[in-house]
Structure formats: structure tokens, C-alpha cells
Amino acid sequence: MNADHDPGALAARLPLRLDIDGGVPLAELTAAVNGVCQQAEDRTHSVVVLWLPTSSFDPKGWPGEISIQDANRWERAVRRLERLAAASIAVVSGACGGPALDLLLATDYRIATAELRLLLPVNDGHVWPGMAVHRLVNQVGVARARQLLVGGHDISAQQALDIGLVDELSSAASDALRAAASRLGRISGKELAIRRQLVLEAPATSFEDALGTHLAACDRELRRLHGRGEPDEERSARTGDR
């Protein structure tokens, strides 16, 4: 059967969708994120779409009554999403804070409506010191992150676009999503994961330490371009030593 007419093949190419409800317990959110990650890991060239709608949940009440073990499991789930071979897209509108903000900062491409307001979770005047702080520093720099953390102000959609926390503002989010999913679907996979990892590690890695990893990635790309397949571990190790 032609893959274009095979229902199973067609379904495998459709984006995986996860709707995030910030009002549910953290354990349920963690399970939901791990669930969609597992589905993505069982596919090739998949795209994960996270819908982060406006919620009656108060993002500044994050994280609520949880244990440190709950926080650890949540952070590991978000990190799992961030490191998928699948491309990830977030569609966000209205107030976005707490778990929605964590997930937004872990995605590859971010589409927002003009109503977006990013809210840093604050309890008794103190910002929640989760990994969203780490990602903010990596993504907008120390100075800008310091201003956001100390100021404690909401971030408007235009401000989020200007500083790179979202990639696109759209009044037709569904249309923007279809275009982004089509574009990212063509590059989703192990090659995207390798390049994403290089980007994520760059701020904390010296040139000398990063050189071997980048050369190994270049060797892999040269082999792909010339149809020679993936390098074996031994060759990658030798390349990394040069």
C-alpha cells in the first residue's frame, strides 16, 4: 500500500498534541508530558504541539503544595521534552506562567497571540527558583533575566517577541501552527536534536571543550551529505580528540 494512502503512515506523520491545563495537580501534568514524550520517541520525524491556553489557574500560585520529589520529577519531564528528537511547537495565549511557562521555554518554536502575558511565578514576593530561571538566563542573557526576576513585571506579547521568548505573533494561531509544523516536520529527528544540543550547551562550554563535539557533528553531517551513513563510535571518539 502506498504510504500516502496508508492510514497508519498518515497518522504517524500528524503532530502529537498535548493540551496543558495548569489547574490540574503537578503529578498529572508530569504524567501527561512524559506520555507525549514517549509517543514522540516511538516515532521518527514527529512534531509535538503544546497548546497553552488561557486558564483560570493563577500562574503566580505555582507550584502549590508539592514535595521536592514532585518538583524533581516535573523538571525531568520538561527536560525530556526539551531533548526530544522531535521538533516541539508551543501555541500560547493569555496569561502564561507556572507549568505553561516552563514548557514554553523548553520548546523549539513558539507562537503567541497578542493577548499573551508571561508571568513569572512569585510567592510572597519571591520568584520560584525552578529551571525556568536557568532557561531565561540562557535564552535572554544575565542582564535581561535579572531585570525580569527583580522587576517581577508581566511580559507582554510584543516584549516577549522583542527579546526572543516567542518567535511569532499571530491572530490566526491555527494557520501559523500548520505552517510551522510543516516546516519543522521536515527537519525533525536526530539531526535537529544534535544541533539543539550544541546550542543549549554553548553558553556553558568553552571553545576548547566544545570543539570535539562540534567536529563530531560535522563529521556526521559530511557522511550524511556524501551518503556514507553514520560514523561509528570509534571514529567519533577519534574526531573528538583532534
**Predicted pLDDT at 188:** 79
Asked if residues 99 and 120 have their Cβ atoms less than 8 Å apart, the reply is: no
Do 114 and 215 belong to one domain?
no
- State whether 101 and 139 are in the same domain: yes
Is the Cα torsion angle 36, 40, 43, 49 positive or negative in sign?
Answer: positive
Do 60 and 30 lie in one domain? The reply is: yes
179 and 100 part of one domain? yes
Residues 202 and 115 occupy one common structural domain: no
Q: How confident is the model over 200-239, as pLDDT tens digits?
A: 888 888 999 989 989 998 998 898 888 876 555 444 444 4
Assess whether pLDDT exceeds 80 at residue 125.
no
For the cut 60, the answer to whether the pLDDT of residue 170 exceeds it is yes
Residue 233 vs residue 151, higher pLDDT: 151
pLDDT score for 8:
43
Cβ within 8 Å of residue 189, ≥6 positions away? 44, 45, 85, 86
pTM score? 0.83
Of 1-15, 30-44, 223-237, which range is least confident? Answer: 1-15
C-alpha angle 99-151-202 in degrees, rounded to nearest 5: 60
165 and 207 share a domain? no
Of 18, 17, 25, 16, which is closest to residue 98 (Cα–Cα)?
A: 25
- The predicted-structure confidence for 39-98, as pLDDT tens digits, reads as follows 999 987 789 999 998 765 565 567 888 999 999 999 999 999 999 999 999 999 999 988
Q: What pLDDT is stored for residue 231 in this prediction?
A: 53
Residues 83, 203 within the same domain = no
* Cα 33 off chain centre by: 12
Please check whether residues 45 and 82 belong to one and the same domain.
yes
Q: Which domain holds residue 57?
A: 3-185
Cell digits for 99?
507549568
- CATH of residue 133: 3.90.226.10
Least-confidence region, from 1-10, 27-36, 38-47, 144-153: 1-10
Q: In angstroms, rounded to a whole number, what is the distance separating the alpha carbons of residues 46 and 27?
A: 25
CA 135 vs. chain centroid, Å, equals 10
Q: How would residue 6 be classed by pLDDT, with cut points 50, 70 and 90?
A: very low
Mind spelling out the 3-state secondary structure of the chain?
A: CCHHHCHHHHHHHCCEEEECCCCCCHHHHHHHHHHHHHHHHCCCCCEEEEEECCCCCCHHHCCCCCCHHHHHHHHHHHHHHHCCCCEEEEEECCEEECHHHHHHCCCCEEEECCCCEEECCEECCEECCCHHHHHHHHHHCHHHHHHHHHHCCCEEHHHHHHCCCCCEECCCHHHHHHHHHHHHHCCCCHHHHHHHHHHHHHHHCCHHHHHHHHHHHHHHHHHHHCCCCCCCHHHHHHHHCC
Half-sphere exposure of 102 (CA within 13 A, CB side): 26
**Pair 155, 209 in one domain:** no
Question: 132 and 20, same structural domain?
Answer: yes
User: Count of domains in the chain?
Assistant: 2
Percentage of the chain with pLDDT > 70?
A: 86
Mean pLDDT on 94-114 = 95
Given pLDDT bands bounded at 50, 70 and 90, which one contains residue 30? very high
| pLDDT confidence of residue 59 | 56
Residues 218 and 232 in one domain: yes
Q: Predicted confidence band at 100 (pLDDT cuts at 50, 70, 90)?
A: very high
Residues 67 and 142 in one domain: yes
